[in-house]
A and B are shown apart, each in its own frame.
Chain A
Amino acid sequence: MAAHGCSYSALLLIICSVSVFIVADSQDTSLSGGHHAAAVEDNPQAATEAAGKTSEQPAVEERSWEATEVEEATLHEAAADKQDTPAPETEAPSPVPQPKDDFQEELVIRPLHSGDIYASFQFRTLWETDFMSGNKVSHYRLFPKSLGQVISKFSVRELHISFTQGYWRTMQWGQPFQPAPPGAELWVWFQDSVTDVDGTWKELTNVLSGIFCASLNFIDSTNTVQPSASFKPLGIGNVTDHRFLRYATLPREIVCTENLTPWKKLLPCGSKAGLTVLLKSEKLFHSSFHSQAVHIRPVCQDWQCKTTSWELRQTLNVVFDLHTSGQGKREWSLFKMFSRTLTEACPLASSSKIYIDITDDPQGELFELSPATPLLSQAMVLGDRRTFSVYDLTQPVTFGTVRSLNPLIRWKSSEGDMLRPLLHAERYVAGYGLQTGEIHTLMYNNHPYRSFPVLLLDTVPWYLRLYIHTLTVTSKGKDNTPSYIHYQPSKDRLRPHLLEMLVQLPPNSVTEVTVQFERALLKWTEYTPDPNHGFYVGSSVISSLVPSIVAMDTNITMDRPLFSSFFPCKEESSFFVRVYTEPLLVNLPTPDFSMPYNVICLTCTVVAVGYGSLYNLLTRSFQIDEPSPGLAKRLANIIRRMRGVPPL
């Protein structure tokens, strides 16, 4: 069974990484003619020149300098309309050729059926360098130095961190581009050269806590697990020994401006130019869902994949709510979402684009988009073929005569039904009372005819004592035996329960996983300051290869030649999805930390003392003690006993 699990997870790893590449690449390469990276290449180069001269200065000053340079560049651009002079490469100060780095930014906007709107920012920095090869990397250009130092100091191979406020409503919004659980999530693959993984992990979380102004320092052994199959490396590399993986979530973490600011500071343009000007916290936090993430991983430099480069992806996903935005009109514009419009691309970016998902509206009858853009792009996203309108911000023509870009989506009708997401999940605590309970995890497979396997990862804190013998997995009223179960029992105050299993979800079914638990009584110092709020149990993670929607399409013969469509195409046949359930809030038996509590304690003490003496009285028999006889009498008695006469 273990071998099966391993081979499966390896497969999962490959396909998941492939699918990510497909998404990334297809978005890049499928552009018909809109790739104008070369035209803007010079702008970042200009910045490098000066950056090289001042590279010895501390990081903070460098950053502020960059910022001003950006402004200069902006002015320059505004004045001269377009810089055509390529920066001379030979002027680079370092004798060895400068490692190449590259920055791209993009924004995807997807109108949702509910009338809400989903905006997803992605900022990607690629850097052809090697943090691990001994020689210290000290010269940073686009890649943030703070993260680079983290990578080299802690021998990090891959780092994924996300901060999320709110819960992604899969049933209303479909699948997100980057799923993330509510609160903070951190998972890290270390290099296999690391000997003390736990110690490094502890240090790393504390450092990241400082970098992102978040309470990541609360990650300790009681909420860290090593999933055996659910989290495979997304970058290249062949080590899949989960000893080097650490995964932790903090479901209670609240995300706010203080986390956004350090996140924005990692971007080459800061919040000064390009798409980042939209990231104003007063609007971002006036939304239904907010998630920001940082992903670092090694990727191939080219198709031969001889050398690796580091990829830093910063993503920010936000969903704006139609109803709370006032007015009640079903229309969205950049200004309405972010209270800003765009006037330029980030000068350091090699590509800067806005994609607007118009798949649901091919004929323009559902909503209209203005200004219209001639650029269209098709991409396979999450198993579905989507069509996007593209605005290329590096083209001055995009901004038109008013020199600002404010795409507007106006709904014409509110009809149209969303395709139900093929996989979604929910979780809740059943039962009442403060002694026991039951965790129910429901996984829905909405595919009409195909079953697929999912990997379920459950991390439950030790203070919920799982009765693992009560674990049941049922679908359609029948037992559904998982083909792989990895269970690590908890240790009180040391580590959480870890339950991973591979379950096959039958088509069009609900699979229910239940497990009973007992609520532990904590020591009185272990309660949080607000014990009656309850204790959080992090989201379960469901990772799966879901059959793609395109493959599900029965009308495949519609627009394709017949010979192409008999066998379903392999890379379209399934796609990787990760679904997070909602976290749980569980009440534990809590003493009443208040005056009455003290009174009860005191009274109990008094009663105990009283009871003790009363019990003493009841059980002891009282007799009048004879005074001890004198010496003469005792002697006399001895003599009488010898004589056989009764004593005196």
Chain B
Amino acid sequence: MGLLSDPNRRRALISLLTRLNAPICVVCYMAGVAWFMGLAFEPFTLRTYMSENAMGSTMVEERFPAGERALTTGREFAAHKKKAGGMPVDWLVKTMQSHGLEVFTQRFSRTLPFPDENKERYMVKGTNVYGILRAPRASRTEALVLSAPCTPGDNNNQAVGLLLGLAQYFRSQVFWAKDIIFLVNEHDLIGMQAWLEGYHHTNTTGMDWSPLQGRGGSIQAALSLELSSDVITSLDLVLEGLNGQLPNLDLVNLFYAFCQKIGVLCTTQGKLQRNDWDSVSGYSHAVQTMMLMVMKQASGRSWGDHGLFLRYHIEAATIKGINSFRPYKTDITTIGRLMEGMYRKLNNLLERLHQSYFFYLMPSLSHFVSIGYYMPAFGLLAVILLLRALDLWVQLTAPPPRTEDGVVDPEQMSSPGVLSVLTPLVISHLTGVALYTLPIRFQEMAVEHFPVSETEAVVLTAIAVYTAGLALPHNTNRLLSGGGTEQGWKVLKLVAVLYLAVLLGCTALINFSLGFILAITLVPVAAFVTPHVPKFLSAFVMIILSPACTLLFSVFFFQELQEMPISFLDGWMLYLSVISQGILDHCLYGSLVYPLIALLVYPCWLIFWNILFWK
């Protein structure tokens, strides 16, 4: 502090920071990106370890004798599903009851704001069936959930079969200390949302559901099972939940530990883990795995049925069976044993999972990057904004440079009016509000006037509003104050830079991936944009780095990472469907990415756009 309290040295420091501002910013940016890329390098990461003592090693052997029977049940389920043309409610109720569970059903219905073309649904009606295994001598205070979605077609029958098989086996055991809820949910996430809202008696999204009749107390953990083949080659663990929430790392550790113990191949993001971390391909494999996780997390959507549990502070993950062309197969009995082991460990929990990390990235299942390691990467990017703000502040407070004849330029002296700063802020936010509300509000009108479907109408309206926003703000300013001053844009930019810093900082705390991806693209824009840079080139760069284009590139990049590259046209179609899915996620499950982009990030970007065209 002595450095700053001494006016001379302070002046020297500030002049150093202003003089070297641009190089420092560039260095910070490079360092931030480099730090991030370094996270996937194995020697820099930590090995996962079990933090929760209650789930530590035991001498117990996992048992599940009824794999074949589970498969038969699965086939029976498939037959009844085909016969009922949907969820075979009666059959499920009867089967669960015969296994000794308390069985309840829940009906729900939901009309989507616009048709979901990916899953081909608009008016959704369904029934969830769940059976509760009451733990002996427990007082209904704690519960675990095992769920399997009932999907149309031939998918997931084995998962339901295994679920019922596990229910039957679990029922005959005496060691349960928590009730276990076996849930078969229809219409995947919508059914799950209805069930969770019913269980916790909340209604965040305006869905209709019938109240639940039976409960098991506070849910401690949940697993969702997806299994579409009789044998599998590997199990994939899906973690990313709504708004980028992740389950406690101990749940991951538990899964990994059991896969190792039982000898099942396990993956995360569909990527096997490799041992050659010191080779380039090994490193790039880890980067790919981590980048996939970052992209999925940044999307803010739930990548499995488990994702909705996280809102209720229930640790949950989806386990997906994958059957590829590898020769070595794992049968369903082994998966049953794995599940049994995991549930027994979860049953041992004395407290909610809280010992391990909630914020992490995984370059592989056995290694993780904790929040303390990845935050500096974001911090280095955020520092750029603060440096630019400091630079602007100094420029604004510095005495105006005297011209040769010693006369102070009167125009530069006058401080810009509040109006000239406030107007672009308000206008860009109004544009944001329009982007948020118009697409759904005007879908009918759009469908009437243009030959498009509802979904297309929503997406195209969104894009249209987005593009129209580019034309708006820089013109309005001119109308109001008749040309901006040099001081004016500096004040506006100072406000915008600080706004962006706060916005990105808050986003990164909640959803690091989203914050980081936005920072990577928006920080350069915020740093370099002034009215004095070449207009057309800068405008082009700014559009390239705008949130919408970031999303477009992300779509291609994501496909590339999944080793499923697509053509530009397919990519564009995918891009449109991603936008519609984002809006749907917001309406159906309360994902916050769409409102965040529309109401905050986009207006912020518009302010910089405004500065570029400052006259």
Contact = CB atoms under 8 A, between A and B. Distances in A.
Interface string B373-391: 0000000000000000000
Contact of B137 (A289, A585, A594): A289
A487 interface: no
Nearest to A618: B4
Given A166-B138, A288-B134, A431-B201, A585 B172 contact: no
A543 B129 CA distance: 33
Contacts of A493: none
Contacts of A534: 141, 218, 352
Interface in A579-620: 582-587, 592, 594, 613-614, 617
Given A530-B350, A582-B141, A613 B1 contact: yes
A326 B174 CA distance: 10
Interface in A522-562: 530-534, 536
Contacts of A617: 1, 4-5
A167 interface: yes
A585 B351 contact: no
A167 B139 contact: yes
B356 to A, nearest CB: 10
Interface stretch (A30-38, A193-201, A225-233, A422-430): A422-430
Given A428-B215, A585-B218, A622-B7, A326 B201 contact: no
Nearest to B139: A182
Main SS of chain B's interface residues? Answer: loop
B102 interface: yes
B200 interface: yes
B590 to A, nearest CB: 11
Interface string B194-236: 0000001110000000000011011000000000000000000
A326 to B, nearest CB: 7
Nearest to B201: A430
Contacts of A582: 139-141, 217
Contacts of B1: 613-614, 617
Given A183-B139, A585-B217, A430 B351 contact: no
Interface stretch (A98-106, A316-324, A566-574, A630-638): A316-324
A171 B97 CA distance: 14
Given A167-B138, A430-B201, A324 B215 contact: no
B141 A585 contact: yes
A532 B351 contact: yes
Contacts of B5: 617, 622
Contacts of A287: 136-137
A538 to B, nearest CB: 10
B173 interface: yes
B54 to A, nearest CB: 10
Nearest to A537: B141
B250 to A, nearest CB: 12
Given A322-B100, A432-B311, A617-B5, A587 B218 contact: yes
Interface string A321-350: 111101000000000000000000000000
A531 B354 CA distance: 10
Contacts of A326: 172
A584 B215 contact: no
A166 B350 contact: no
Contacts of B312: 432
B115 to A, nearest CB: 30
A166 B171 contact: no
Contacts of B344: none
B125 interface: no
B69 interface: no
A440 B199 CA distance: 12
A469 to B, nearest CB: 19
Given A430-B200, A592-B354, A288 B139 contact: no
A183 B102 CA distance: 23
A586 B173 CA distance: 28
Given A323-B172, A613-B1, A166 B354 contact: no
B142 interface: yes
A428 B174 contact: no
Contacts of B345: none
Interface string A219-255: 0000000000000000000000000000000010000
Contacts of A323: 100, 171-172
Interface in B309-340: 311-313
B352 A172 contact: no
A324 B134 contact: no
A491 interface: no
A287 B311 CA distance: 36
A582 B134 CA distance: 13
B215 A426 contact: yes
A160 interface: no
Nearest to B353: A532
B136 A532 contact: no
Interface string B336-373: 00000000000000111011000000000000000000
A290 interface: yes
A432 B200 contact: yes
B139 A166 contact: yes
B217 A285 contact: no
A622 B4 CA distance: 11
A584 B311 CA distance: 20
Interface string B1-15: 100110100000000
| Nearest 6 A/B pairs, CB to CB | A182-B139, A430-B201, A532-B351, A585-B141, A166-B137, A582-B140
Interface of A: 114, 165-167, 169, 171-172, 182-183, 251, 285-290, 321-324, 326, 426, 428-434, 438, 440, 530-534, 536, 582-587, 592, 594, 613-614, 617, 622
11 contacts: A169-B102, A169-B134, A182-B139, A251-B139, A289-B137, A322-B100, A323-B100, A324-B136, A429-B218, A431-B200, A583-B141
Interface of B: 1, 4-5, 7, 100, 102, 134, 136-142, 171-174, 200-202, 214-215, 217-218, 311-313, 350-352, 354-355
